[in-house]
């Protein structure tokens, strides 16, 4: 069972950070700088990181994010529990103003993700997934407002008013594949071509940020092949939400479960299979 007091803090942090990001998003213009790897950075990233850090600091659990990527592994390897945070996932989508950006917070224990929450500020939609609890979506603006105001900060209360995932039915005879909007690779295109050889109809959908994992969790997508680079903070929260909705995330080359707080924070390629797809393939 996850520590619910810690989880409640993370959920509140996620929504509060999302609200701050949305304020920046609503401005006529905002400055964009670039990090050493040429990826973009905005004031929204910085504001979100500050808010999340102030909340999670209260839990006494160490935090791993892109800002802390230089923490020596000799120190990180002693962490049995840690938060993995992406204060603004999908900065490119944020800059394009297409709304497909998220706030991601995950809790990892013994290298396994046990909780994740994702907030989509532009849609006022919150996802939570927790071991032994399942995964849920909250898209009622009244409930989101209550969470933002601290009037509904308890996990049990939140999930009692939420939609349990998956909540979408599979399309008969159709395999729906979701891929990256900004990082589509030739390997993913080849994956889809191979899939079409064994399935009559394959639909391909593009989405930004951790929304892809949420789509699989909901049942709006069957497969998410990520055959390209990601970092741990890119997917940890979405992994928890997908997995606790019955999906499975496995390393592409080995079929092994993905672990976190590795010495190398770069993830191996992986494929996420939705609950309905896994059930359907077992029957074939």
What is the distance between the alpha carbons of residues 195 and 237, in angstroms, rounded to a whole number? Answer: 27
**Residue that finishes a domain, picked among 114, 131, 165:** 165
Neighbours of 37 (CB within 10 A): 6
Over residues 161-169, the mean pLDDT reads: 94
Confidence label for 4 from pLDDT (cuts 50, 70 and 90): confident
**Residue that finishes a domain, picked among 165, 194, 228:** 165
Condensed to tens digits (0 to 9), the pLDDT of residues 36-54 reads 666 777 889 999 999 999 9
Kindly report the CATH number assigned to the domain that includes residue 230: 3.40.190.80
What is the distance between the alpha carbons of residues 138 and 163, in angstroms, rounded to a whole number? Answer: 6
For residues 126 and 180, membership in a common domain is answered with no
For residues 15 and 115, membership in a common domain is answered with yes
Amino acid 40: pLDDT: 72
Kindly report the CATH number assigned to the domain that includes residue 66: 3.30.540.10
Closest CA to 18 of 105, 132, 80, 108: 105
For residues 153 and 207, membership in a common domain is answered with no
What is the distance between the alpha carbons of residues 230 and 269, in angstroms, rounded to a whole number? Answer: 8
- The boundaries of the domain holding residue 181 are 174-283
User: Number of folded domains in the chain?
Assistant: 2
Confidence label for 153 from pLDDT (cuts 50, 70 and 90): low
pTM score of the predicted model: 0.94
Condensed to tens digits (0 to 9), the pLDDT of residues 198-250 reads 887 999 999 988 999 999 999 999 999 999 999 999 999 999 999 999 999 99
Condensed to tens digits (0 to 9), the pLDDT of residues 74-104 reads 999 999 999 999 999 988 888 899 999 999 9
The single residue listed with the structure tokens 């030739």 is: 186
For residues 126 and 25, membership in a common domain is answered with yes
For residues 181 and 148, membership in a common domain is answered with no
For residues 148 and 197, membership in a common domain is answered with no
For residues 180 and 245, membership in a common domain is answered with yes
Q: At 214, is the secondary structure helix, strand, or coil? A: helix
For residues 77 and 194, membership in a common domain is answered with no
For residues 151 and 246, membership in a common domain is answered with no
């Amino acid at each position: 069972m996850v520590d619910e007091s810690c989880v409640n803090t993370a959920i509140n942090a996620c929504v509060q950070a999302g609200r701050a990001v949305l304020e920046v998003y609503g401005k006529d213009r905002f400055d964009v700088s670039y990090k050493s790897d040429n990826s973009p950075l905005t004031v929204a990233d910085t504001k979100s990181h500050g808010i999340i850090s102030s909340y999670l600091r209260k839990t006494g659990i160490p935090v791993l994010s892109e800002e802390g990527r230089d923490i020596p592994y000799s120190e990180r390897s002693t962490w049995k529990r840690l938060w993995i945070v992406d204060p603004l996932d999908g900065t490119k989508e944020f800059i394009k103003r297409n709304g497909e950006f998220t706030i991601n917070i995950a809790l990892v224990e013994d290298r396994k993700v046990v909780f994740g929450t994702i907030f989509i500020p532009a849609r006022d939609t919150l996802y939570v997934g927790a071991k032994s609890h399942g995964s849920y979506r909250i898209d009622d603006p009244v409930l989101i407002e209550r969470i933002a105001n601290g009037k509904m900060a308890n996990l049990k209360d939140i999930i009692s008013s939420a939609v349990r995932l998956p909540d979408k039915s599979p399309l008969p005879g159709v395999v729906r594949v979701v891929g990256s909007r900004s990082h589509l690779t030739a390997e993913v295109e080849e994956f889809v071509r191979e899939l079409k050889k064994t399935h009559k109809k394959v639909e391909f959908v593009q989405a930004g940020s951790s929304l892809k994992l949420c789509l699989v969790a909901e049942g709006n997508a069957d497969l998410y092949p990520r055959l390209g680079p990601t970092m741990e903070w890119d997917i940890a929260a979405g992994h928890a939400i997908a997995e606790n909705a019955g999906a499975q995330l496995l390393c592409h080359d080995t079929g092994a479960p993905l672990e976190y707080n590795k010495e190398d924070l770069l993830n191996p390629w992986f494929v996420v299979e939705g609950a309905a797809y896994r059930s359907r393939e077992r029957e074939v």
